[in-house]
């Protein structure tokens, strides 16, 4: 996720440098970030459904080992992501 964020910033800077200010570059960066974030939104606790990347209102780039809502050990659970 951090790499995609850096790539999105570099895309906007490169387009701004060579072609001038463009809303299309910002739109492309937003689409890139949404596509990169999609797998993170599917990593949920199998028992209660809480997302493992959310810490209250904040999102961090690494998942919890235990669910903060129900206390289930997420490290021992095989991934259901496909």
Are residues 54 and 33 located together in one domain of the fold? no
Are residues 49 and 33 located together in one domain of the fold? no
pLDDT digits (tens, 9 = 90+) for 2-53: 888 999 999 999 999 999 988 999 999 999 999 988 888 888 888 888 988 8
Q: What does the angle CA 17 – CA 23 – CA 27 come to, to the nearest 5 degrees?
A: 110
> Which of 50, 70, 54, 74 is CA-nearest to residue 62?
54
Q: Is residue 82 part of a domain?
A: no
The pLDDT of residue 24: 93
pLDDT digits (tens, 9 = 90+) for 48-61: 889 888 888 888 87
- 67: containing domain: 44-77
**Is it the case that residue 80 has pLDDT exceeding 70?**
no
Are residues 70 and 57 located together in one domain of the fold? yes
The pLDDT of residue 79: 60
Are residues 34 and 49 located together in one domain of the fold? no
């Amino acid at each position: 996720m951090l790499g995609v964020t850096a790539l999105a910033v570099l895309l906007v800077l490169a387009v701004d440098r060579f072609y001038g200010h463009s809303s299309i570059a910002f739109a492309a960066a937003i689409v890139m970030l949404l596509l990169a974030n999609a797998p993170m939104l599917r990593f949920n606790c199998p028992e209660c459904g809480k997302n493992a990347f959310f810490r209250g209102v904040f999102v961090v780039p690494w998942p919890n080992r235990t669910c903060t809502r129900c206390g289930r050990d997420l490290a021992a659970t095989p991934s259901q992501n496909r």
